[in-house]
Amino acid sequence: MKIDKTMKRWIVILMTALAVFLAADLCARERGVKFSGGTDVVSGYIWRGVWEAGASLQPTLTMVAGNFSATAWGSVDFAATSYKEMDLTLAYALGPVTFSLADLYWEGGAGDRGTVSRSYFRFGADSPHRVEAGITWRISERVPLTLAWNTVLFGAADVNARGERAYATYAEASYPFAVKGVEMKAGIGIVPWNAVGTYGIDRDFYIQNIFLNAGKSWTVLGSLQLGIFTSLGWNPAAEDVNFVGGFSFRM
């Protein structure tokens, strides 16, 4: 297993961040650690306005201890191409601001097989992993506008049109609201500079995602939550539109 210097550096940063988060929140042990999990069944997997795969199963498992959380999330489609993704995210909330560090394991599409390895334990130049740092700020309870900024720090797919490290970045503003008991959210996302290796669009600045989500959930059998949701999204840069829906199961 070959690990290049860049990946070694980010592995150290990831482990250090985890240690700091845990040390800063040891008092959470007194309040207890909570686990939750579930899965979504979706008609299509859309990530930040980009079509990734068709009908998919997307399980999730989360541990919360005080202000710290660790989440495992995956996606696998039902097609013969077998799109597979598995993400691990560490997050720490400081009031209205949440800091996150994520490892995104992504095998790529059929056209990426020559440049992206399918081996989970490969951390070289063709690693299927992407390390992404993020920050999210919810302005207030009264004005629940949420601003988010996410930047890729490492990964074989993180290149621009010249093949250089892109530090692919996605910034988003979203606003939640409710209409007659239906939870809604509208938002817009941009890519501020060329990140063609990550998002597949060879441009320097563009609007990638304009979306409107709607969903509703019910609690049954004590603690089991069942939900239904839809998402309508436009990707102006790709001249694309997607309308997907699904069901969620939470425990």
Confidence of residue 8 (pLDDT cuts 50, 70, 90): low
SS3 167: coil
pLDDT of residue 210 exceeding 70: yes
- Tell me how far apart the alpha carbons of residues 107 and 103 are, in angstroms, rounded to a whole number: 13
**Segment 189-213 mean pLDDT:** 95
pLDDT of residue 82 exceeding 80: no
Residue-range domains of the chain with CATH = 5-250 (2.40.160.40)
Two tokens at 194?
A: 């060329």
Contact, 196 vs 159, CB < 8 A? Answer: yes
pLDDT at residue number 1: 45
Residues 6 or more apart in contact with residue 137 via CB below 8 angstroms:
96, 97, 98, 146, 147, 148
Q: Could you tell me the pTM of the whole model?
A: 0.86
Contact, 190 vs 218, CB < 8 A? Answer: no
Confidence of residue 56 (pLDDT cuts 50, 70, 90): very high
Q: What is the pLDDT of residues 140-176, one digit of tens each?
A: 999 999 999 999 998 878 889 998 999 999 999 999 9
Two tokens at 132?
A: 């992404």
Q: What is the pLDDT of residues 100-128, one digit of tens each?
A: 999 999 876 555 556 667 788 887 777 88
More confident of the two residues 149 and 33: 149
Q: Tell me the helices (H) and strands (E) count for the chain, helix number first.
A: 3, 14
More confident of the two residues 16 and 59: 59
Q: Which of 46, 47, 118, 129 is nearest to 81 (CA)?
A: 118
